[in-house]
Amino acid sequence: MSIELTRRGGCVALGFSRGDGKNALDAAFVEELKDAFEQAVAMQGVRAVALRSAADGYFCVGMDLDALRQAREQDATPSRRAIETYASLLRVIAGAPVLTLALVEGLAVGGGVDLAAACDLTVATQSASFSIAQLRKGIFPLTTSALLIPKIGRGAFLLWALSGQYWSAQRARANGLVELVLEVTEADPWLTRFGKTLDDADGETFLAGIDLIRRQERPELQRRIDLAEPFLARNCSRRGALLEELR
């Protein structure tokens, strides 16, 4: 497990790699990501934090469902705490006092799409792809719906979730998930230029503007995450569990 903070002008790049090659999210990894994110936000003069995977070909494949189910079979408490920690990470990203962005250069699946959608901006290279095909495993993408519907709309979300299709970076941009698509070789130069642009801006005014945006949007977004969280652990535990919970 490796997490590294790298300063790029007014932006801090949070590079992460779990070591499994795909950045599946287990409780320990989520906790480290949250701690590192909060550390990055607290750095002096920071105006943005960029999430960037250090795993080749992958941004994040979402929750480690095998680990979650095994833990739940032994004791429901650790599983529930893992979900609480994951939801807390999404809240921290979505409510950060600085601009947040996801730099996606590989595959983002399920919770990986959540991480990107929780950010203000998603920048993707041509090598990126996105999937929310959890329904094929009997799981409804609850937190994904909470974060994604405000960006792409309810209809587009439902059609995508049902289709099981992978979206290319260009298709994700056309649907509102991605704001900017770069050539693969442009990711590093772009991040450096973006950090300098932030440095050149009036930091106090910029952060005041971010704060105002948070005040306008945070209550509804937090409500959506809060509503999804209690059902998420049951949803991931086994097929049919969500329907039982709703009854």
**Residue 38: predicted pLDDT:** 97
Rounded (10°) angle between helices 65-74 and 76-94: 140
- 15: exposed, middle or buried (Cβ count in 10 Å: 0-12, 13-18, 19+): middle
Range of the domain at 112: 2-184
CATH number at residue 179: 3.90.226.10
Using only the alpha carbons of the chain, give its radius of gyration. 17
CB 119 within 8 A of CB 51: yes
16 pairs with which residues across the strands? 3, 53
As a whole number of angstroms, the distance between CA 77 and CA 72 comes to 7
- What the block records as the tokens of 144 is 């994904």
The partner residues of 103 in beta bridges, in order of sequence, read 52, 123
Question: pLDDT, tens digit, for every residue of 17-31?
Answer: 987 779 988 888 999
Distance CA 13, CA 127 (A): 19
Residue 15 lies in a domain: yes
Determine the residue type at 240: G
By three-state DSSP, how is residue 63 classified? strand
* pLDDT for the residue 82: 79
Any domain includes 7: yes
Q: What is the mean pLDDT of the chain?
A: 89
Please tell me the predicted confidence (pLDDT) of residue 244: 55
Ramachandran category for residue 74: left, alpha or beta (phi over 0 → left; psi -120 to 50 → alpha): alpha
Per the structure, the count of domains in the chain is: 1
Residue 221 lies in a domain: no
Answering whether pTM is above 0.75, one says yes
Q: Point out the residues of the chain with pLDDT beneath 50.
A: none
Three-state secondary-structure class, residue 47: coil
